[in-house]
Every structure is written in structure tokens, then in C-alpha cells.
Amino acid sequence: MAQVRPMRADARRNYERLLKVAVQAFAEHGESASLDDIAKRAGVGSGTLYRHFPTRHALLEAVYLDRIQTIAGRADALAAALPPGEALVEWLYELGAGLVRMRGLKALLGPAVTEGGPTVATACGDAVNGAAARLVRAAQREGTLRGDVEPVEVLRLAHGVATASELADGEGGQLRWYLSLLTEGLRPRDGER
């Protein structure tokens, strides 16, 4: 079995710069964003870009996965800084805002994100589901979230809220308002936990 060597520090920096620039480039120019321009804006040569991302699709997948994992990673930071119920609500807001921003990127990737192989679909699902489960369970223990709600249900509802907010104004400007309506409905009723 081949061992995977960790990336050198300079290679890691190049990889991260490429991802950051690619997010902006794909947002500005869609799928047709110039890979050479992405490399130039990241301060690396085209060869470096292709060493990390052999195809345009590989770069798109990496950008999408990075965005999802960043949002999922925010769950732990919010849980450390806020009471459980507040952490869940804030994370759902960040997730919804991220979904609105990533819709174009998801469309560029097409079926790879929804049906995809283990690289994208499984990794994204694992990251988001794990984060949601930790926050939902903590809010339930705190008594600020109904005990009969499953994390996947909260995620589905949050996705619906993000979609509704985007439909309202094209940019998700109503997200906090719609999310407050959702979370109010998820609070336990008197005497329930």
C-alpha cells in the first residue's frame, strides 16, 4: 500500500491560494474562467496549478469541497463561542448563506455533486451531517430544540429556507428572517423537551 506523503508547506500554501483565487474566478466568470489566469492571480505557474488540479473539473470539485468543509468546520467554532441553541441558529445561517453563494458552483459541477463519487458527494455529506448532528444534539440537550427532530430534518428545512430566501430577492437577503421563523417552530412547546 502506497503511503501518502504530507504536502510541503510551500505546496500547501500554493494549493490554498489556488483554491481562494479559483472561488473568486468561478464566481466572476463561471466555468469558463481561465485556468492560466487563476494560476497567475494566485502567484504560481500553470504547471503548479495542473500538478494540484490535473483538470478543470478537479479544481471545481476541490473548490466546492473546500467551501463545504469550511462551513462544516464553523460548527465547532460556533459551539465553543455560543450557547448550543444560538450556535445552531448561527451555523444554519452560515450554511444557508453558503448554499446561496455556491449554487452557481454546484451547477458548474453538475451531477458530480449530487450523484458524485466518494470524492465530492460523500465528503460533503459527511462534513455537513456530522456538524449538524453535533449542534442539533447539543441544542436538544440544552432544551432549545425539540427532541423529536433529527439532524437531517433540520438540514432539509435549512436548505428549504435558503432556497425560499434566494427566491425572494435573488440574493438570499431574507435568510435571517426566514430562519427565525423556522427555528421558532423547532423550539419545544411548553412541557416538551
Closest residue by Cα to residue 26 from 104, 129, 100: 104
pLDDT of res. 173: 82
pLDDT of res. 116: 47
Q: 172: helix, coil or strand? A: coil
Provide the residue range defining the domain that includes 72.
57-186
pLDDT of res. 133: 96
Burial (CB count within 10 angstroms: exposed 0-12, middle 13-18, buried 19+), residue 66: middle
pLDDT of res. 112: 43
pLDDT of res. 113: 46
Domain co-membership, 80 together with 171: yes
pLDDT of res. 33: 86
Sorted by sequence, the CB contacts under 8 Å of residue 94 that are 6+ apart come out as 71, 74, 78
Q: What is the pLDDT along the chain (193 residues), one digit of tens a residue?
A: 445 567 788 888 999 999 999 988 887 787 788 999 999 999 999 999 999 999 888 898 888 888 888 999 999 999 999 999 999 999 999 998 888 777 656 555 554 444 445 566 778 888 889 999 999 999 999 999 999 999 999 999 988 888 888 888 877 788 899 999 988 888 887 766 6
Domain co-membership, 29 together with 40: yes
Q: 56: helix, coil or strand? A: helix
pLDDT of res. 83: 98
pLDDT of res. 192: 62
pLDDT of res. 27: 75
Number of domains in the chain: 2
Alpha-carbon span 165 to 131, nearest angstrom = 22
128 C-beta neighbours (distance < 10 Å), count: 21
Domain co-membership, 169 together with 78: yes
Residue 183 grid coordinates: 427555528
Alpha-carbon span 138 to 89, nearest angstrom = 12
Alpha-carbon span 149 to 189, nearest angstrom = 13
pLDDT of res. 109: 52
Domain co-membership, 130 together with 151: yes
pLDDT of res. 92: 94
Residue 24 grid coordinates: 473568486
C-alpha dihedral sign at 128, 90, 179, 190: positive
Domain co-membership, 90 together with 166: yes
CATH number at residue 94: 1.10.357.10
Q: Give residue 189's region: left, alpha or beta (phi > 0; psi -120 to 50).
A: beta
pLDDT of res. 106: 58
